[in-house]
Amino acid sequence: MYNVPLQNMGVNPANIGFSYLTMESDKFICIREKVGDQNQVVIVDMSDPTNPIRRPISADSAIMNPASKVIALKAAKTLQIFNIEMKSKVKAHTMTEEVMFWKWISVNTVALVTDTAVFHWSMEGDSQPAKVFDRHASLAGCQIINYRTDEQQKWLLLIGISAQQNRVVGAMQLYSVDRKVSQPIEGHAAAFGEFKVEGNAKASTLFCFAVRSQAGGKVVQTALSETQDPEEVSVTVKAFMTADLPNELIELLEKIVLDNSVFSEHRNLQNLLILTAIKADRTRVMEYINKLDNYDAPDIANIAISNELFEEAFAIFKKFDVNTSAIQVTLQRRNRFKLLQSRVLIEHIGNLDRAYEFAERCDEPAVWSQLARAQLQRELVKEAIDSYIKAVDPSAYMEVVNAASKNDNWEDLVKFLQMARKKARESYVETELIFALAKTNRLAELEEFVSGPNNAHIQQVGDRCYDDGMHEAAKLLYNNVSNFARLASTLVHLGEYQAAVDSARKANSTRTWKEVCFACVDGEEFRLGQICGLHIVIHADELEDLISYYQDRGFYEELIALLEAALGLERAHMGMFTELAILYSKFKPQKMREHLELFWSRVNIPKVLRAAEQSHLWAELVFLYDKYEEFDNAAITMMSHPTDAWKEGPFKDVIAKVANLELYYKALFFYLEYKPLLLNDLLTILSPRLDHSRAVAFFSKVNQLEVVKPYLRSVQSHNNKSVNEALNNLLTEEEDYQGLRASIDAYDNFDTIGLAQRLEKHELIEFRRIAAYLYKGNNRWRQSVELCKKDKLYKARPPKRLPDAMLYAAESKDAELAETLLQWFLEEGRKECFAACLFASYELLHPDVVLELAWRHNIVDFAMPYFIQVMREYLSKVEEFAEKVTVSGPLLHSS
């Protein structure tokens, strides 16, 4: 014999049983178990039990081959034989019927039992399960517990059991393979054996089976019918008990106890009879309880209760309660029986009406208490409270309070708690009594109670009353404990606003002030609301909630009045001034400017800026931008909304301070569109930081240079090319040749050639003269003289002494140009001009050329003054030279 500790191998103890464990031979143990979410089979080889084999499977059943490591697996109707050592499937088959029982009957054959037949399945070859015989009708409904064969498998035996008449009955089917005949046999165990009788050549097959006999009945009828020996009875009873024959034992005990034998009053036999009936035949228990009198009633009753025979237990308690009076047992035992009797009715039979009738009949406090507990468990609150009051039992006060609160049995709860208070001055009881009085609206009793000595948690009850909306009761309770904050909240709900304000003043809590204030607003008690509000607005963190509350209900006027009144408070802060400004922007825009001018330094300017912008208060927005030194935004706002926001003086002040110079040019465009007559004033302000070239380009693009002519003159001192050219163009367009000549002479940073080229085509001769003048200034003497010749500029004009042509020729220092001009005069017949030019270009002309021209054109008389001057000049030079020679000696010396 081997002792295999499966638990030590990691096998779950719950899997060590007939449903999971099989042992087809002394070689292997096979156990199915589940580890986590995975099904496994554990195979213990008895030759090496310390190294079990574990394999994952998904089968419902597994049995090991009795000789080799081959396992048969079954999952529903699918069968499989698997060789563990070879790790290969030997064969598989799917049955048409469910296999109810299976077993290896040899090393290569498995027997399969279904509801209708028995099959043999050989693991050799490719054969499928073959039906051997059909099950006999006597095994219908039986649980198959075994299947056996002889060694030659010629005799087959199927064994099953079933329950019949409160006992297990065995049924067997013996089948001859050779004769193909079945024989039903009553029995529950059987075996085949081989025995060789002396003289026989072959061994004989023996068949042995077991079945229960009627020995017990024979003992009852014969052996004990006349005996009076207690020892014989005792031995017989013990034999029946040891054989586990309860039905036969009942029959035996009835014969001994009920047939007026000498053992009829035997206490142990009566106990045994009832207990055996409880175990084997419950229908007889009530009969035995009523017939027998000498048994251990309390113990038997408790056993009956544990076996759910409640009526029988109640009958025992009821019978022996009556009997106790007759035999004068002690009062304590009688009370205990009553309690047990009540308990059976309540807990086991569950009939509270019968329990109530019983309680009224016995009228015991303990019984009433027991009934009350049961009624409370079944939520019969009123009935439970009545029972507790009759029992004068306050012990379950917490359960009663909870149940009554849940079911709103407040009137009954008051009665119970008043009874409980008389028994015990518990704080919990008195607290709940106050709440119950409040629930039943007994305010006078409530006030009287709290005014006297008590151990109740009045504050706690007040909070509960407040939460449940019982404000009158809460008012009394809060007033009693001087909780003015909660009292104020309660008074608000009662509509007593003035009293609520007075309580809030005593509480002096911001939270209380807020609650009362909001309630006054809801009740449109704005005067009281303002009183409360003045205590709230001084706290910056609370201001937003207050404002939102007023605004959400549309009380803007009252909110503004509250904040206006608060500005004079000692603790006035920026938030108040800011929020009032925002309210003005939304609801009283006409008052906002005055407010800002007075208190701009005490408001949160960015916040008010947003409000002013949202309300389109552009003038106020500009004012705030200016104070906040956001000059760029101020200028943009003025230009975007000139009707409301623009004023000349403020705009000039602001635009001069902007950081973004791009705004200068936006301002110029704005003035062109909106105030063109003031444009030059603006340019005067902007000119120190203005890019004059860009300004000129801007005005040129919009064709408005003539508008800004004063600006151009004022900045021409910078000698800016763009400014000079723009102004010169304007003077040209205006035909102001004098102004143009003055500009050209004063400021030379411009494109002179370009201007000269434009002016030489001008219709006015004065501008063409300026062109010639410009050419001269750029050393283009020939172009200048040619232009003068073209316009016949050979007459002198005051205050000039010489005509332009002669002057420019003389200034050119070019003899050829001067001689060309002389020839042109002669060609034009301008003899007087010829004579004047001789003197104008005196130093440039060659006397011989002049003499030739005068002689050829017969104008020697006109040239004579020139020659006289030349002669005089030459003579002066000769004389001067002669003087130098005289002083220094002769130039040549004889050798």
pLDDT for residue 86: 85
In a domain, 371, yes or no: no
Tokens of 479: 């007033």
Distance CA 895, CA 892 (A): 9
- The 10s digit of each residue's pLDDT in 868-879 is 777 777 777 777
As separate numbers, helices (DSSP H) first and strands (DSSP E) second, the chain gives 44, 18
* Long-range contacts at 811-820 (CB < 8 A, ≥ 24 apart): 811/776, 811/781, 812/776, 812/781, 812/782, 812/785, 813/844, 814/781, 814/782, 814/844, 815/841, 815/844, 815/845, 815/846, 817/781, 817/782, 817/785, 818/844, 818/845, 819/844, 819/845, 819/846, 819/849, 820/785
pLDDT for residue 304: 77
Distance CA 771, CA 750 (A): 14
> Parallel, antiparallel, or unpaired for β 167-176 and 181-186?
antiparallel
How many CB atoms sit inside 10 A of residue 583's CB? 23
Domain residues for the domain of 60 are 1-132
pLDDT for residue 814: 62
In a domain, 322, yes or no: no
In a domain, 112, yes or no: yes
Q: DSSP secondary-structure letter at 859?
A: -
Mean pLDDT across the chain: 79
- The 10s digit of each residue's pLDDT in 412-431 is 888 888 887 887 778 888 88
pLDDT for residue 104: 92
H or E stretch covering 315: helix 310-326
pLDDT for residue 329: 30
Q: At 327, is the pLDDT very low, low, confident or very high (cuts 50, 70, 90)?
A: very low
In a domain, 10, yes or no: yes
Buried b (16+ CB within 10 A) or exposed e, 837-864: bbebbeebbebeebeebbeebebeebbe
**865 upstream amide cis, omega within 30 of 0:** no
CATH of the domain at 44: 2.130.10.110
Top pLDDT among 863 and 163 is at 163
What are phi and psi for residue 182, nearest 5 degrees? -110, 150
Q: HEC states along 536-601?
A: CCCCHHHHHHHHHHHHHCCCHHHHHHHHHHHCCCCCCCHHHHHHHHHHHHHHCHHHHHHHHHHHHH
Top pLDDT among 231 and 396 is at 396
Total structural domains within the chain: 1
Top pLDDT among 60 and 121 is at 121
- The 10s digit of each residue's pLDDT in 425-472 is 788 888 888 888 888 888 888 888 888 888 788 888 888 888 888 888
Distance CA 388, CA 408 (A): 18
- Mean pLDDT to the nearest integer, 474-499: 86
Q: How far is CA 423 from the centre of its chain?
A: 54
H or E stretch covering 234: helix 230-242
Top pLDDT among 214 and 501 is at 501
Distance CA 122, CA 103 (A): 12
In a domain, 27, yes or no: yes
Distance CA 240, CA 272 (A): 12
pLDDT for residue 32: 86
pLDDT for residue 453: 82
With 60 as the cut, is the pLDDT of residue 792 above it? no
62-71, 216-225, 806-815: which range is least confident on average?
216-225
In a domain, 99, yes or no: yes
- The 10s digit of each residue's pLDDT in 695-713 is 888 888 888 888 888 888 8
- Count of residues in the chain: 895
Distance CA 59, CA 81 (A): 12
Report CA dihedral (514, 518, 521, 526) to the nearest 10 degrees. -10
In a domain, 414, yes or no: no
**Do residues 62 and 32 make contact, with C-beta atoms less than 8 angstroms apart?**
yes
CA angle 534, 539, 542 (to 5 degrees): 95
Distance CA 632, CA 622 (A): 10
pLDDT for residue 175: 94
- The 10s digit of each residue's pLDDT in 527-582 is 999 999 999 999 988 999 999 999 999 998 999 999 998 898 888 999 999 999 99
Q: At 324, is the pLDDT very low, low, confident or very high (cuts 50, 70, 90)?
A: very low
In a domain, 111, yes or no: yes
Q: Which residues, 6+ apart, have CB-to-CB distance to 630 below 8 Å?
A: none
Cα torsion angle, 642, 645, 648, 651, sign:
negative
pLDDT for residue 113: 95
With 90 as the cut, is the pLDDT of residue 173 above it? yes
